[in-house]
Amino acid sequence: MTEILTTQTVEEYFNTHKWLELLKAFDEIPLDSIRAIFLKRVNPGQADWFNMTAEQFTQWIETRILELKKKKDLFWWEMLVWYVMRSYGNTPYASASVDFAIKLALVSDNWPKKNDIIKLIFAKIKDIDRVSIYWDVPSMERFLTDLAHRATILSGYTHEDWVNLERAVGYIVKEEDFLWIDRLKNHLERIENGKCYPSSFSFLTPLEIVREEHMSYLRVRIGGLCGQSLRLAAIVCESTFSTRKETAAYQSLRMCAE
């Protein structure tokens, strides 16, 4: 294959070879030019082009990302962005790619890169705003819990911690995950009681003003989530619950009543 590339441009190579050969080239010709055009020409949802099932192609993609990352080959990040952002709509690929990115973020001990992955995940969520994958991603709750932990369990949280919490809470409210109501109330109480507080090193505004803004933000979102829960619980009964959201609404209503 490398001999072919000495007489043809990369584009010509991709124009004259079958898809299965291109899949093989990705592994056997470790050139960013080859890999980049592969990512340009292929979407994660096109498993049938390579005679694979969706699960097989997903595994192939994730294995390559992990291998590149282990080798400290920076192209792992390009491939992760491609995998997450080009997995379109409400498909198994969209949920699988976000779940994979979340797992990478959760185990990362490199905060700048971890934060890049967090931004990528929320960029994907924004990109598919009209399609919900919230309830289909197994690691979503752990991911949101981790973000909430950094901002309201650890003392001296940073501006970046709070921005990520806002992203998480905004998503929770949008998806109406009512089981978060009590947890958000606990987070609010920790800030109110001074058990966690904004870091003096990362906020330009006076800290007392920042603290008041953060408490106000949480109060408004909690109030909105409670209102949504009561409206949904009012129109369904326990015997007709068909979704996790409806079950959560009923459970939150019972907790409020107790």
Q: How confident is the model at residue 246 (pLDDT cuts 50, 70, 90)?
A: low
Q: Is 90 left (phi over 0), alpha (psi -120 to 50) or beta?
A: beta
Structural domain contains residue 206? yes
Highest mean pLDDT among 43-47, 90-94, 241-245 belongs to 43-47
Angle, to 10 degrees, between the axis of helix 111-127 and the axis of helix 75-85? 20
Tell whether the model's pLDDT for residue 253 goes beyond 80: no
Residue 61 located in a structural domain:
no
Report residue 252 as tokens.
């939150």
Helix and strand tally (H, E) in the chain?
Answer: 13, 0
Q: In the predicted model, is pLDDT for residue 217 greater than 80?
A: yes
pLDDT at 257: 44
Total number of domains constituting the chain: 1
3-state helix, strand, coil in the chain (%, to 5): 75, 0, 25
- Asked, for residue 103, whether it belongs to a domain, the answer is no
pLDDT at res. 7: 37
Does some domain include residue 173? yes
Give 244 or 22, the one with higher predicted confidence.
22
When pLDDT is averaged across residues 8-18 and rounded to a whole number, the result is 60
AA identity, residue 155: S
The boundaries of the domain holding residue 257 are: 139-258
Q: Is the pLDDT of residue 219 over 80?
A: yes
For 198-209, how does the pLDDT look when each residue is reduced to its tens digit (9 = 90+)?
987 788 889 999
Percentage of residues in the chain with pLDDT exceeding 70?
Answer: 81
User: What's the rounded Cα separation, in Å, for the pair 143 and 155?
Assistant: 19
What per-residue confidence (pLDDT) applies to 199? 87
Q: Which one of 23-32, 34-43, 155-164 scores highest in mean pLDDT?
A: 155-164
